[in-house]
Amino acid sequence: MRQQGLAALEIPANTPPGTPGGAPGGDHVAQENILAVRRLTLSDFRCYDHQRIDIDDSGGSSIVVLTGDNGAGKTNVLEALSFLVPGRGLRRAKLSEIIRLREEGAGLSPWGVAATVATPSGAVDIGTGFQAGVSGARDKRVVRIDGETMKSQAALGGYVSAQWLTPQMDRLFLEGPGSRRRFLDRLVFDSDPAHLGRFNAYEHAMRERLRLLRSGRGDKNWLDALEDTMATKGIAVAAARLDVVRRLGRHLSDNTGAFPKASADAAGEIEDWLGDGPALAAEDRFRDALKANRSRDAQEGRSTIGVHKSDFLVRHLGNGQAAALCSSGEQKALLIALVLAAARMRAKDLGTAPLLLLDEVAAHLDDTRRVALFDEIAGLGAQVWLTGTDQGLFSPLAGRGQFFNVCEGAITPALCGTS
């Protein structure tokens, strides 16, 4: 009987590239300054029972195109790839929601994703999957790197980075600030893996502080300690965000392609304090504000000040409009400009571009911008995964990418222009 879940995806540790279970392409992969998935295996993941995709790098291809009908499973592949980095994936789904539904009475099996990834320092084998909680414990995601189980999914950040665009993100500039903060924090984490730990510590201290305030039995010394954590970690989070938007802004404003020049800013009261003076002064100001707001926060049941309320603001420099006021087409172009600029920023600062996962991104672009997008991603030095229903939209990539057909939970190689 076939093993299920993560256990079925084990790849022997230290398998030499070019051998069965290792990265296709031999030593060529390890020597290149590239981050690319060379083999992806899915087990009981969404619509996939057991599916493997091998990416042929013999021609230097860095573009992967998945085409098929709506609902065929294209986005599921991108979601699987998004689990190669820390976080909740591009759909932000609960872990239990990802398990493949089987016939009635067959039960549920844990899902798993495994990949052989080419990195600048050599090939690495990554496995991640779902582990159901028992005896009241929470469900969790297990991560294994070269066969060794990691203490936390944060370890993935040392090997893989990824950015993505999905149709659901088309409203990023129109929704509340939460989605935009998450977008910005992904960019920060890409260049500073410690950012996730700082933000998690901040949020944990914030939750504990609110719990004590609501109980009415808050110990003053414990509240002081929690507020000190919020102040020190919060200022560090804000400073990291400001640093990234400053660097990102240079790449956005220097853009000379078909996508608009733009500006970006991390906006909030805490960020303003950092602009007024040194970080230590901002920490003291934050502590004082938290202490002064205790009664109000207890009454309202929320923290009324902090980096959890900041926003990520983008402006179209061509027309001077805030992104929220631009047309839907301009907003789409701004989103693409942001992701491309972030990839260029990471490639310049760290020497390796992230994986780019672009879901249905070409469908609503005019011919000029579509060709410009393809030309730009071909020159990024990044592995780019594209999905779409119409293979004809990707004809400019013929000879520059590897094509796959996706149909009813099965993925098969294809030539551009064939079905």
The residue assigned the tokens 């984490």 is: 189
> What's residue 258's pLDDT?
86
Q: How far is CA 15 from CA 53, 55, 113, 147, 261, in A?
A: 18, 17, 18, 10, 45
Q: What is residue 203's three-state secondary structure?
A: helix
Judge residue 54's burial from the number of C-beta atoms within 10 Å of its C-beta, 0-12 exposed, 13-18 middle, 19 or more buried.
middle
Residue-wise pLDDT tens digits, 41-71: 999 999 999 999 999 865 445 899 999 999 9
pLDDT 10s per residue in the chain (419 long)? 344 455 545 543 333 333 333 333 333 333 357 899 999 999 999 999 999 999 986 544 589 999 999 999 999 999 999 999 999 999 999 998 898 865 444 445 689 999 999 998 899 999 999 888 776 678 889 999 999 999 989 899 999 999 999 999 999 999 999 999 999 999 999 888 899 899 999 999 999 999 999 998 768 999 999 999 999 999 999 999 999 999 999 999 887 678 999 999 999 999 999 999 999 999 999 999 999 999 999 999 999 999 999 999 999 999 999 999 999 999 999 999 999 999 999 999 989 999 999 999 998 899 999 999 999 998 888 999 999 999 999 999 988 889 999 998 899 998 765 55
Four-residue CA torsion sign, 20, 25, 27, 32:
negative
185, 195 in Cβ contact below 8 A? Answer: yes
> What's residue 190's pLDDT?
87
The closest of 186, 192, 204 to 87, measured between CA atoms, is: 186
Q: How many CB atoms lie within 10 A of CB 207?
A: 12
Separation of alpha carbons 325 and 70, rounded Å = 30
168, 182 in Cβ contact below 8 A? Answer: no
Q: What is residue 39's three-state secondary structure?
A: strand
Q: What domains sit in the chain, N to C, each tagged with a CATH number? A: 1-161+353-419 (3.40.50.300), 170-351 (1.20.1050.90)
> What's residue 137's pLDDT?
73
Separation of alpha carbons 164 and 357, rounded Å = 4
Q: Strand 355-359 and strand 162-165: pairing?
A: parallel
Token readout for 42 is: 């899915």
> What's residue 343's pLDDT?
93
> What's residue 14's pLDDT?
37
> What's residue 219's pLDDT?
86
pTM confidence score: 0.87
